[in-house]
Amino acid sequence: MKQAIRNSIMLRSRQSKVDHFYTLFEPGMSVLDVGVSGKGHRSGGAPVNYLLQTYRYSPDTYTALAVHDVSGLQSAHPGKRFVRYDGKIFPFENGEFDWVFSNAVIEHVGDRDAQLLFVNEMLRVGRYVFFTTPSKFFPIETHTYMPFIHWNERLFDRWLQKHKPEWRRKTGLWLLSAGDVRRLMNDSAAQAYAVSKNRLLLWPMTMTVIATRLNHLPEPKQAVQAPLYRLGAERAGAAPNAATRGMGIPKAR
Coil vs helix vs strand at 42? coil
Q: Within 10 Å of residue 45's Cβ, how many Cβ atoms?
A: 13
CB 6 within 8 A of CB 145: yes
Residue 4 or residue 216, greater confidence: 216
User: pLDDT digits over 157-197, tens only?
Assistant: 777 777 777 766 555 778 888 899 999 999 999 999 999 88
Domains of the chain (ranges, CATH numbers): 2-136+176-234 (3.40.50.150)
pLDDT at 252: 36
pLDDT at 10: 59
User: pLDDT digits over 20-61, tens only?
Assistant: 999 999 999 999 999 998 865 444 455 689 999 999 999 999
Of the candidates 138, 139, 137, 119, which has an alpha carbon nearest to the alpha carbon of residue 129?
119
Which pTM does this prediction carry? 0.77
The CA distances from residue 217 to 44, 130, 186, 208, in Å, are 38, 11, 15, 14
